[in-house]
Amino acid sequence: MSSFDPINESVLRRKLDEAQVACESLQVFSELDSTNAYLMRQTEAEGFQVCVAEAQTHGRGRRGKPWLAPMGSGLTFSCVQRLSSTQGRLAGFSLAVGITLAEKLTYLGLPRVALKWPNDLCVDGKKLAGLLIEVQPSVVGKSAVVTGIGLNYALSSEQSKEIDQPCVGVTQLGLGLSRSELLAELLIALAQAYEDYEERGFSSFYSRWSRWDLLQGREVNLILPKRILQGVAKGVDQSGCLRILVAGQLRTFSSGEVSVRVAQ
């Protein structure tokens, strides 16, 4: 395990300034309950805000699962900005964030990045990062949309064993950037993604999905609250719903957990 490389706030601020990201607030904590929970408590504020924690005591994952990331092993951070949220307009936002991260990590040199619908970032079937989007709806105006990201940076084999699924960190894949440099790059891309989504919704991301789609053409199980459906994944529709061919019929799903079926 490499030595702990703490987040350097001045590197972060300098890189965001250089990229002209208008960041209203940037807070780096050594420990916090959860960066998502923190920003969900601040949703009255305006503009792009960022919260980073070296360690979380109650890191939240999707479907109520905890997110475990030992100090220094990953990046755990969230950002928030207000977005128009009329008529299901936010449905594709989590896919848009996944696409944004996949594109940036690939640009930075990571090999074989893929997305497992709706937004798990994987390499060679191992989890590289997870996203948790939480929305504080507003009756008038725009909703506060919190994007939380847990990205594996340098995981020792002992740490990997404590996680309930195969996972991989960016240093194992040869990325040489410090945690602060990598975080700055991801935040710059995320600030742009919020802007693009506000302007054009999922339409500016839709055609970019297929490049990263890990499930395309594969036999999958879709785990729904009361049953499991089997079918073949056929990409996403224009609002980001998963399309699955089930018994000769093309159906779309806005939620559910997908697993790839292993050939018997």
Residues forming contacts to ligand BTN in the complex (CB under 6 A) are 34-36, 56, 59-62, 65, 67, 76-78, 120, 130-132, 148-150
Closest CA to 177 of 7, 56, 50: 7
Closest CA to 147 of 166, 119, 106, 125: 119
Taking the least distance from each CB to ligand BTN, the nearer of 40 and 236 is 40
Taking the least distance from each CB to ligand BTN, the nearer of 59 and 240 is 59
- List the structure tokens of 182: 């990598």
**Shortest separation between residue 6's beta carbon and ligand BTN, angstroms:** 17
**Shortest separation between residue 113's beta carbon and ligand BTN, angstroms:** 15
Taking the least distance from each CB to ligand BTN, the nearer of 214 and 245 is 214
Residue nearest to ligand BTN (CB): 130
CB neighbour list of residue 118: distance below 8 Å, 6 or more residues apart: 94, 95, 98, 240, 242
- The continuous run of DSSP H or E covering 144 comes out as strand 143-152
**Shortest separation between residue 86's beta carbon and ligand BTN, angstroms:** 26
**Shortest separation between residue 75's beta carbon and ligand BTN, angstroms:** 8
**Shortest separation between residue 16's beta carbon and ligand BTN, angstroms:** 18
- List the structure tokens of 202: 């999922």
Return the amino acid letter for 247.
Answer: A
The answer to whether the CB of 78 falls within 8 A of the CB of 147 is yes
